Amino acid sequence: MQQAGVEARSERAAEASETKRMIMTVAAKLFAERGYDGVGISEVGEATGFGKGALYYHIKSKEDLLFDIMTIYMMDLIAAARGIAESDLPAAARLSALSSNFMSIMFASRAEMTVCFREVHALSEARQKGVLRLHSEYLEIWDRIFRDGAASGEFRPMTRLEIKALLGMFFYSFLWVKTEGSIRVEAIAGMFADLTRRAVRSDRA
């Protein structure tokens, strides 16, 4: 159980009380396992130890809960990526850093990320747009690095479609990637970055 009496202070819209964070984490895990529509609210209640009444004291609706999970974790991802993209390292180094960052967040918040990319259809149309905009904000960050790389001659010029395709390789990864035994997160991130670098490096021999 949770004695969250300390949380009385009013939070900024984007922030969430500790109790709500806990609910989001538990719900994300459930949603990732059996799908948003496959998990009932009372099940979320059981898993969090709350009755429905208490649950609805913390969340506005089931859909809001999903939406909040998606936006918060996408915003985390975007914020971290922006920091990397704005550094003045060479494009290839920033690409590696982006890959590492993606993979470490992915492993740390796998359920949330899965939900983020797999359950968009469960949202109302307006909210779908909101989440999709976050996705393309993230794409924009990668795009910028590829453009910088092309400008400096490190990379060949890439079309938008090519960048989307490559990013898809990352986005699909949380459906299957495991840290199997000795394979560490950094090794996987390195592999993805290497694959990407090979696909985009300039042709000049």
Partner DNA sequence: AAAAGTACCGACCGATCGGTACAATGCAAA
Partner DNA sequence: TTTGCATTGTACCGATCGGTCGGTACTTTT
Establish if 29 lies at the interface with a second copy (CB under 8 A). Answer: no
Stretch that binds a second copy, among 9-17, 101-109, 114-122, 147-155 (CB under 8 A): 114-122
Task: Choose, by CB under 8 A, the member of 24, 36, 72, 111 that binds a second copy.
Answer: 36
Any contact of residue 38 with a second copy (CB under 8 A)? Answer: yes
Find the binder of a second copy among 165, 179, 184, 186 (CB under 8 A).
165
Decide if residue 176 touches a second copy (CB under 8 A): yes
12 binds, among a second copy, DNA, none (CB under 5 to 8 A by kind): none
| Window 39 to 98, contacts with DNA (CB under 7 A) | 39-43, 49-54, 56-58, 61-63
Cross-strand pairs, 201: 155
User: What residue ranges bind a second copy (CB under 8 A)?
Assistant: 33-38, 117-119, 121-122, 159, 161-162, 164-166, 168-169, 171-173, 175-177, 183, 188, 191-192, 195-196, 198-201, 205
